[in-house]
């Protein structure tokens, strides 16, 4: 299940504050409270009420938080992540409410130019590794399906990090899933390489396609995945695949 909603700023129907996290669309809200975040999302089929406590310092992506997305200097975004958030709260659906707990990943990224004209979409993964490490890797895809640009960051349990250059990141597709709704095929299972590290990425389930034409104007795949190394589970995270339905236009 998923839900989407859009509204213009004004009359307090939607907005985003500067200097701290407080964003809302009608009664959907994500706000910062000290070192924690609170998400309150009452959708039609489900409702989320979650507290997300930071357990690590923000992870600045790229060079001091400036993440390159292509060869041109202006093709970049300001980007930080908060891996390994400690989550607790409730999820309600079908008339039942249950307590939940787990781990989450928050991304905040903004830019005046998202993609170069030769890029058609991107593949991205953010993984909370079981040893306390955090891995973010991405590639911008060209029209031929190959990597137009790539990058990523690995922060180790001791807080040291490695920033990966374009030639150090590889996405190798292993298996595709085809959507019966749109006819779009997505490579939902991957072998990914980041420097000397190698992981297999598998979806927790295949059908995690999102039709967001009413808000962001595209259809894409984004969902929960498991990371494996040597066939053994080593982490959980998210995988995002865009530009497979149509070229992403931002």
- DSSP string covering 168-200, please? GEEEEEEEEEE-TTT--EEEEEEEEEETTEEEE
- pLDDT at residue 163, as a whole number: 97
For residues 76-94, b (16+ Cβ closer than 10 Å) or e, as one string? bbbbbbbbbbeeebeeeee
Please state, rounded to an integer, the average pLDDT across all residues of the chain. 95
Above 90 in pLDDT, residue 96? Answer: yes
Q: Is 167 helix (H, G, I), strand (E, B) or coil?
A: helix
pLDDT tens profile 204-241: 999 999 999 999 899 999 999 999 999 999 999 999 99
Is 139 in contact with 145 (CB distance < 8 Å)? no
Confidence grade of residue 89 (pLDDT, cut at 50, 70, 90):
very high
Confidence grade of residue 73 (pLDDT, cut at 50, 70, 90):
confident
Q: Is 12 exposed, middle or buried (0-12, 13-18, 19+ CB in 10 A)?
A: exposed
Confidence grade of residue 114 (pLDDT, cut at 50, 70, 90):
low
Above 70 in pLDDT, residue 48? Answer: yes
Q: 54-61 long-range contacts, Cβ below 8 Å, gap at least 24? A: 54/82, 54/85, 54/86, 55/84, 55/85, 55/86, 56/82, 56/83, 56/84, 56/134, 56/155, 57/159, 58/82, 59/83, 59/134, 59/136, 59/153, 59/155, 59/161, 61/109, 61/136, 61/153
In CATH, which of 2.40.370.10, 2.40.50.140, 2.30.29.30, 2.40.10.330 is domain 73-78+114-241?
Answer: 2.40.370.10
Above 80 in pLDDT, residue 195? Answer: yes
Angle value at C-alpha 111, between 128 and 82, nearest 5 degrees: 20
Residue 39 or 111, more confident: 39
pTM of this structure: 0.95
């Amino acid at each position: 299940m998923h839900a989407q909603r859009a509204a213009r700023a004004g009359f307090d129907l939607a907005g985003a504050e500067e200097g701290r996290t407080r964003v809302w669309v009608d009664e959907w809200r994500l706000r910062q409270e000290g070192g924690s975040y609170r998400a309150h999302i009452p959708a039609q089929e489900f409702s989320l009420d979650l507290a997300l406590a930071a357990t690590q310092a923000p992870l600045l992506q790229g060079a001091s938080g400036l993440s390159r997305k292509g060869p041109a200097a202006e093709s970049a975004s300001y980007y930080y992540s908060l891996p390994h958030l400690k989550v607790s709260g409730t999820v309600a659906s079908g008339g039942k409410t249950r307590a939940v707990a787990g781990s989450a990943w928050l991304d905040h990224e903004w830019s005046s130019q998202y993609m170069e004209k030769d890029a058609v979409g991107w593949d991205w993964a953010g993984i909370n590794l079981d040893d306390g490490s955090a891995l973010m890797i991405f590639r911008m895809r060209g029209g031929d399906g190959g990597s137009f640009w790539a990058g990523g960051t690995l922060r180790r349990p001791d807080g040291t990090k490695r920033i990966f250059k374009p030639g150090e990141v590889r996405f190798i597709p292993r298996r595709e899933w085809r959507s019966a709704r749109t006819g779009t095929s997505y490579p939902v299972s991957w072998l990914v390489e980041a420097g000397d590290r190698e992981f297999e990425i598998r979806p927790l389930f295949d059908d995690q396609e999102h039709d967001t034409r009413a808000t962001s104007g595209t259809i894409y795949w984004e969902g929960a995945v498991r990371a494996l190394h040597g066939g053994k589970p080593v982490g959980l995270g998210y995988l995002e695949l865009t530009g497979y339905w149509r070229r992403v236009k931002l």
